Amino acid sequence: MSQYLLLSIASIITLGIAAEWIAWRVGLPSILILLLFGLVAGPFTGLLDPDVVFGDLLFPVVSVSVAIILFEGGTSLRLQELRQVGRVVTSLVTLGALVTWTLATLSAHYVLQTDLGPALLLGAILVVTGPTVIVPLLRQMRPSPQVGNALKWEGILIDPIGAVLAVLVFEVLLAGGFEVAWTVGALGLLTTVVIGVVLAAAGAGLMIWVLNRRWVPEYLQSPLSLTLVVGAFAVSNSLQPESGLLTVTLMGMVMANQKTVNVRHIVEFKENLRVLLISSLFIILAARLDMADLRAVGVPEIAFVGGLIFVVRPVAVGLATLGSDFNWRERLVLGWVAPRGIVAAAVASLFALELAQHGFPGASQLASITFLVIIATVLVYGFSAAPLARRLGVALPAPQGVLFVGAHPWVREIAQELQELGFQVRLADTNRRNIKQTRLAGLPIYFGSSLTEGALDSIDLAGIGNLLALTANDEVNSLTGLNFSEVLGADSVFQLPPEDLATATDEALVGRHLRGRFLFRADAGYWNLTARFDAGGDVKTTKLTEEFGYPEFLAEYPDPIPLFVVDDGKLTVATVDEGVAPQPGQTIIAIVSVPGAT
């Protein structure tokens, strides 16, 4: 038995991570592969039975995992984003949620012929969307900031709201009688809000206080934060069922928006943990489905899902955005994005069991219908949301622009060359002379240090997809890359190599996770490049053809330093580890020695 449990736990983790990797390789929403793997491991083959593996610990493990996921989601919410979308977000999570609940309940009652009690509960569960599916979908869509922020905020806030609503409906169903039910519901809502706000403030305040006084070494700070999150969630749930989800979401928001302590390393730890938890949870919950319930899916179930996608969501968004400054294209995209995720799956699985124990008819269908909604909405939105956003002009192109840190003369030459090709460029420097010369050259410049947190908020990064740290100080370059990797991604952060890269040992170099990717080639350090330009070097842009390809380019300009390759509007940065191999039809930008220059 112990061998089976060990193999089952290992298979859950392995299948989850394998599904995530496959989804990344083929460009599909990961939740689809996760659900497929879970169904194959569970109801299709019977190899995995989560109820046997976890026993009574199953739902506590699921609940704690969801709490950690929602805390991490809360840390991505910046209050400054609400300046544009605050009114719409408020309407979506209040009026929009109410409309969704009402229409989903009516649809479940009349289309699925579900009793009114379970229909009310199913409607409450399907109010949620969730960051586990919204955030990956937003990366795929690249919507305008207004639409993206509205969907992100709604997806994270609606999870605890939907879970709390489901709990209140469940308590009302058990209470019976309108007057008693009204009292139970109102009191439960008030209790949930009070407990959530108080415990979130206490938990976040304690975390900030301890970290600010440096009572905990850095290697224990992430485990401490995890302990406080789980503790606050458990205490909150013990005082009011499912109020813990609201508590941890608010805790994440407080930690993200406070300025007292740096929590980036904690957020990065939670992001990595989130991937493991989400992948494992979907395998577990999909494996619990009953094959008989899956076979029972027919025309009514398909009609119910179609109503959610084509009627309920558009109506809810249409009413919630009335009178807003969102145009019809943005409202249409909002109304077409509402995939359900892990919270819907977890809450449905929990209450299906609870309702069955209390003798409610049709309780077993709750989980299977919810999983059908999850699969269908992820499929429909996953394959159609990005093309729709592009067709309506709401999607932004993949950012190809460059932020240059350092604005000395040869950096300005490179930046001007890119700007003339139509790429967005920004420069940042602290030297007043460089600032003045950059402005005279007509290049946008930020006056200030790139190492501060304020630089992330102050520099206009619209259209910027790459950072090139080109200062003479290797440590400044590394720290700048580390600072901006959170926003641009580690693969899009570059820095000049140290002067002795060719002879330096691995021990002498800054760790890869603490710096950017080394630019151009091994001998392209700051002083070598400066000497190259002082000797008459120039930035040359050349469109390659079949007649004048890269070999001919090398013959005309011996020993060039390739900087970038442009192919159909896509900018590729030359690096030490990859280099470039430009082909006919592409454009190469390189530092070349001009014949006769001194």
Confidence of residue 106 (pLDDT cuts 50, 70, 90): very high
Gap between the Cα atoms of 27 and 18, Å rounded: 14
CA–CA separation, 498 and 528 (whole Å)? 10
pLDDT number for residue 144: 81
What is the pLDDT averaged over residues 285-289? 81
Residues found in the chain: 598
Domains of the chain as residue ranges with CATH = 2-391 (1.20.1530.20), 401-593 (3.40.50.720)
DSSP 92: I
pLDDT at 107: 93
SS3 content of the chain, % helix, strand, coil (to 5): 65, 10, 25
Confidence at 308, pLDDT banded by 50, 70, 90: very high
- Residue 178 C-alpha from the chain's centroid: 42
Burial letters 167-192, b for 16+ CB under 10 A, else e: bbbbebbebeeeeebeebbeebbeeb
Residues 82 and 88: their CA atoms lie apart, in Å, by: 9
**Integer Cα distance of 505 and 503 in angstroms:** 7
Question: What is the predicted pLDDT for the residue at 598?
Answer: 47
Nearest to 141 by CA among 310, 341, 382: 382
* Side chain identity, residue 48: L
Determine the Cα–Cα distance for residues 298 and 587; give it in Å rounded to an integer: 55
395 DSSP 8-state letter = B
Rounded Cα–Cα distance for residues 101 and 114 (Å): 15
The CA distances from residue 249 to 68, 76, 153, 584, in Å, are 9, 10, 11, 52
* Mean pLDDT of all residues in 75-100: 84
Percent of the chain with pLDDT over 70: 90
Q: Express each pLDDT in 341-350 by its tens digit.
A: 777 877 777 7
Average pLDDT value for residue range 221-242: 87
Specify the pLDDT at position 231: 92
Give the amino acid at 282: F
Joined together, the tokens standing for residue 314 give 């558009």
What is the tens place of the pLDDT at every residue in 378-398? Answer: 888 888 888 888 888 887 777
- pLDDT tens across 492-525, in order? 888 888 876 655 555 545 555 566 788 888 888 8
- Determine the Cα–Cα distance for residues 517 and 513; give it in Å rounded to an integer: 10
Report the candidate in 400, 415, 413, 404 with the shortest Cα–Cα distance to residue 477: 404
Torsion of Cα atoms, 577 then 411 then 434 then 468, to 10° = -30
**Helices 82-91 & 145-175 angle (0-180, nearest 10):** 30
What percent of the chain clears pLDDT 90, i.e. is strictly above it?
9
pLDDT band per the 50, 70, 90 thresholds, residue 358:
low
Confidence of residue 98 (pLDDT cuts 50, 70, 90): very high
For the residues 307-312, what does the mean pLDDT come to? 92
CB-based burial of residue 133 (10 Å sphere; 0-12 exposed, 13-18 middle, 19+ buried)?
buried
Average confidence score pLDDT of the chain: 82
- Residue 325: the pLDDT is 84
Tokens of 194: 């009070």
Q: Which is it for the CA torsion 537, 543, 544, 546, positive or negative? A: negative
- In 3D, which of 231, 257, 233 has the Cα closest to residue 243? 233
How much is the pLDDT for 507? 53
Q: What is the pLDDT of residue 488?
A: 77
